[in-house]
Amino acid sequence: MPLVSTPAVVLSTIRYGETSKIVRLATRDYGVQSVIAKGALRPRSRFGAAMQLLSLGQAHIIISERRDLQILTAFDLTRLHVALARDMDRYAAASALAEVTMRFAPADPHPEIYQFLHLALAQLEDAPEHEVPALGIKLLWGLAGILGFAPSLEDCARDGAPVVADGPMAFSAEDGGALCARCAGETKSARLPASDRADLEVLLSDNDAVPTLDERHAAAHRRLVTRYIRYHLGEGAELPGLEFWCARSWSAA
C-alpha cells in the first residue's frame, strides 16, 4: 500500500468514533477521496486545526485499491480560508462549490477540477464584497462546465440549429442551454430578456469579469444555475448546501 502525497482541499468532515474523522478530500492527483484521519479529535492530534472545511494543504495518504476509505497520515496546512467563514455570502457559495465537487467529481485523477476549486476558493475569499453574489454564480457555472456539463448558448440545445445572436433568448435548464425559436415554442423554457442574456454570457465566459446584478436578478440567476445543476448532475441527490446558497435564507427581507 503506497504512501502518496498530493495537494488537497477539505470538502467535508464527519466525526467517527470518539477521536477520529472521516474526511472527503478533493485531491489534485487522485480525484475525490474519502479518508480517515485517526486521532484527529484528540487534544494533541498531529492534525491540529488543519482539518477545517475548505482548508487547503498537502495530504499524505495510504491508498489501497481494495478499499473505499483510505488512511490519512498527515495534512500539512498551506491555506486556511478564514475570510470565507466571516462572510455568509462567501461561505455559502464556497460550501455549494465544495458540495457539488464532493458529490459529482470522480475518484480518478482530474487535476483541472482540483485546480478550479483551489482558485475558486481564493477568488471568493479575495473578491470585493459587491462582486461576491455574481462571482458565486459564475463559479457554479464554471464548475458545471469543468465537470462536463457546460450549457450551449450559440446552438439550440435540442436540435443544434443556430440561435439568434442578439436580443431575448429562450433557455431550458432541462435541455441544456439556449433554444431556437421553433424549439422554444414546443417546450417550457425561461425567457431571458436581452440584458439578462448578456449577463448570462458574462457569467459563462472564461474571463474574470462578473456582471453587476441587483438582488432580483442575482436571485433569478442563482435559481437558473441551481436548476441546471440539479437536473444534469443531481439525479435526485439532496444538495442542501446548494439549496441554501440559492435561497440566501440568511438575507434580510
- Name the CATH topology of 83-247: de novo design (two linked rop proteins) (1.20.1440)
Burial of 135 (0-12, 13-18, 19+ CB in 10 A): buried
Q: What is the CATH number of domain 3-80?
A: 2.40.50.140
* Alpha-carbon gap, residue 45 to 29, rounded angstroms: 26
Query: What strand order describes the sheet that includes 190-192?
Result: 177-179, 169-172, 190-192
Among 21, 60, 25, which residue's Cα sits nearest to residue 39? 21
Q: How confident is the model at residue 251 (pLDDT cuts 50, 70, 90)?
A: low
User: Is pLDDT at 250 greater than 70 in this prediction?
Assistant: no
At 222-243, the pLDDT tens digits run: 999 999 999 998 777 889 999 9
Domain boundaries, the chain: 3-80, 83-247
Three-state DSSP state, 149: coil
Handedness of CA 114, 153, 217, 212 (dihedral sign): positive
> What's the Cα-to-Cα distance from 208 to each of 29, 135, 145, 211, rounded to whole Å?
26, 9, 15, 10
Q: Which is more confidently placed, 146 or 41?
A: 146
Q: Which residues are CB-contacts of 16 (< 8 A; sequence separation ≥ 6)?
A: 22, 36
Q: Point out which residues pair with 7 in neighbouring strands.
A: 58
Residue type, 206: D
Q: Residue 194 is inside which H or E element, if any? A: helix 194-203
**Residue 229, CB-side half-sphere exposure with 13 Å CA sphere:** 33
Residue 252 has pLDDT above 60, yes or no: no
Neighbours of 217 (CB within 10 A): 17
Rounded percentage of the chain residues whose pLDDT exceeds 90:
78
> Does the model's pTM come out above 0.95?
no
